[in-house]
Homo-oligomer: A and B are copies of this chain.
Amino acid sequence: MPGREFFRTRTVAEALALLPDTAVTSPERVGLDDALGRIPADAVCSAHALPGFARSTVDGYAVQAADTYGASEALPAYLDVVGAVAMGSAPDVAVRTGGAVSVPTGGVLPAGADAVVMVEHTQQTMPGTVEVVRPAAPGDGAVRADEDVAIGAEIVPAGRPLRAPDLGMLAAAGVTEVNVHSRPVVGIVSTGDEVVPPDVAELAPGQVRDATTSALAGLVREAGGLPRPYGIVADDGAELEQVLRCAVDECEVVVVSAGSSVGTRDETAGAVERLGPPGIVCHGIALRPGKPTLLARCGEVPVVGLPGNPLSALVVFRLVGMPLVRRVGGCTRVPPEPGTRARLGRQVASQAGRRDVVQVGVRVDGPQPVAEPLFGASALLSVLTAADGYIVVPEEATGLDAGAEVDVNLYR
C-alpha cells in the first residue's frame, strides 16, 4: 500500500495548516445587482461625505437653538416663519435670529440654522409665527453633512461577504460596481466502478447512482465556489490521473471522492501523487467519519481526496473543503453559522485524539433543546438528510455523557 505509510494521521486543524499558502482568485468587477455575498478584493472607501449636506431628521422648523432656550408650554418662544424648504432642493432662505424655516424630514438645513424643532414641539396659532414650546440644543433634529460617512472613510471591508446593507451603502456613495474575488472554480471528480450518473433509471445489480457530485456541488456553492463536475471515473489509476490533470489545469480547487475500499483509495493516492509537486501533504485525518482523507497540492491548486461514501465525503468537505474554498475565494471573515446549546439525549462514545462528527436531530423538550444522536452505518445518506445539525466531540474527549450540554451546529 504505497503512500499510506509515509503520512501520520493529522488533526483537522493540522491538516488545514498544511495548505497555508494557497493562491486566491483574481478580482472581477460586478454590479450591485450581482454583488450580494461576493467577497470584495479591496476595501471600498467613499469619495463623498454622506448624506453630503446638513439634513433634518424630523418634520419641523429649522431654528437657531439659542432662540428656544427657556421655551415651555407656559412661555413659548415666538419665531417668524420666513420660508419653507422643499425636499431635494437647496433652501432659498436663511435662518436669522428670531426666524424659523419649515423643513421636512430629510430636507436641507438652511444656512444660519443649527437645530430643527420637531413639529410636535410647536404650535401655530398665528399665520407667519410659530410657537416653540420646548428648548432645542444645537444639533437637535439634524445630522451633519458627514455624520453618516466622512470623505475617504471605508464603507466596505475587504474579505467579508457583502451583505444587503453594504449594497445600500455602496449605492448611497455612488459606487455601482465592486472589485470582488472571482468565484473559485472547484473541480469535482467522482470515482468508482459501481457509480453511474443520477439519470440512469434502472440500475444493474451492484450499481449506485452518483450522489456525491450533486451534494458536493451544493456545498461548493454555499462556500462561494463554482462547481465544475468531471463526471464519474472508473477505479483505474491511469484514467483517474488523466482526468485529475485536466481538472488541476482548469480549476482552482479539485475534489475527488477517493473510493471506499482500500485498493481504490490507493489508486487515488497514486494518481494524485503523480500530478506533480509538492504532492500529498496529508493522508489520514483523526476524524470520524473521514479518516482516509487526503490533502495534496499540485502547483498552486489544492486537491482534496474524500472518502468514498457520500455521508463521510460530505462531513469531510464541510470541515476541510469548505474552509479551503472560502480561503481560495478571498474570504477572510467567515460569516457566522447558526447553532444552539442543547442537552445530549444519549451517550456518545469517542476515542481520545480523534474528532467525532455526530449527526443529531434537535427537538424542543422542556427548557432546553435536546440533541438526539442519529446513529446508523456511516454509509447512509438518510442520516445526513434527517439531521438538523451536528455536534463535534473534540480530540481531547473520550465521549460525551447523556444529558451533557453540547453546542449543535445547525444546518440551514
Give A residues with C-beta under 8 Å from B.
32-33, 36, 48, 50-53, 55, 57, 59, 85-90, 104-108, 119, 143, 147-149, 155-156, 161-176, 192-195, 198-201, 203-219, 221-222, 235, 260-264, 308-310, 314, 335-340, 376-382, 384-385, 410-412
**In whole angstroms, how far apart are the Cα atoms of A390 and B393 in the complex?**
31
Query: Cβ of B380 and Cβ of A209 under 8 Å apart?
Result: no
A171 contacts which of B88, B106, B210 (Cβ < 8 Å)?
B210
**In whole angstroms, how far apart are the Cα atoms of A164 and B210 in the complex?**
14
Query: Cβ of B384 and Cβ of A205 under 8 Å apart?
Result: no
**In whole angstroms, how far apart are the Cα atoms of A344 and B196 in the complex?**
55
Return chain B residues, CB-CB under 8 Å to A204: 88-90
**In whole angstroms, how far apart are the Cα atoms of A168 and B377 in the complex?**
17
Q: Which 8 A-B pairs have the closest CB atoms?
A: A168-B215, A164-B218, A88-B194, A90-B205, A104-B261, A171-B198, A168-B211, A336-B338
Secondary structure of the A side of the interface?
Answer: loop
Query: Cβ of A380 and Cβ of B52 under 8 Å apart?
Result: no
Query: Cβ of B32 and Cβ of A165 under 8 Å apart?
Result: no
Give how many copies assemble into the complex.
Answer: 2
Query: Cβ of A87 and Cβ of B261 under 8 Å apart?
Result: yes
Query: Cβ of A412 and Cβ of B261 under 8 Å apart?
Result: no
**In whole angstroms, how far apart are the Cα atoms of A48 and B161 in the complex?**
41
Return chain B residues, CB-CB under 8 Å to A104: 260-264
- A87-B235, A380-B143 known; A164-B314 Cβ under 8 A: yes
Question: Separation in Å of the A30 CB from the closest CB of chain B?
Answer: 13
Query: Cβ of B194 and Cβ of A172 under 8 Å apart?
Result: no
Given A89-B205, A171-B210, A338-B339, list of 17 further CB < 8 A pairs? A32-B217, A36-B222, A52-B203, A52-B207, A52-B208, A53-B205, A55-B379, A105-B260, A106-B194, A147-B380, A163-B218, A165-B381, A171-B211, A172-B208, A172-B209, A172-B381, A335-B411
| A36 to chain B: closest residue by CB | B218
Question: Separation in Å of the A165 CB from the closest CB of chain B?
Answer: 4
**In whole angstroms, how far apart are the Cα atoms of A216 and B292 in the complex?**
45
Return chain B residues, CB-CB under 8 Å to A147: 376-377, 380
Query: Cβ of B87 and Cβ of A193 under 8 Å apart?
Result: yes
Query: Cβ of B168 and Cβ of A206 under 8 Å apart?
Result: no
Return chain B residues, CB-CB under 8 Å to A50: 208, 381-382
| A207 to chain B: closest residue by CB | B88
A221 contacts which of B36, B55, B376, B410 (Cβ < 8 Å)?
B36
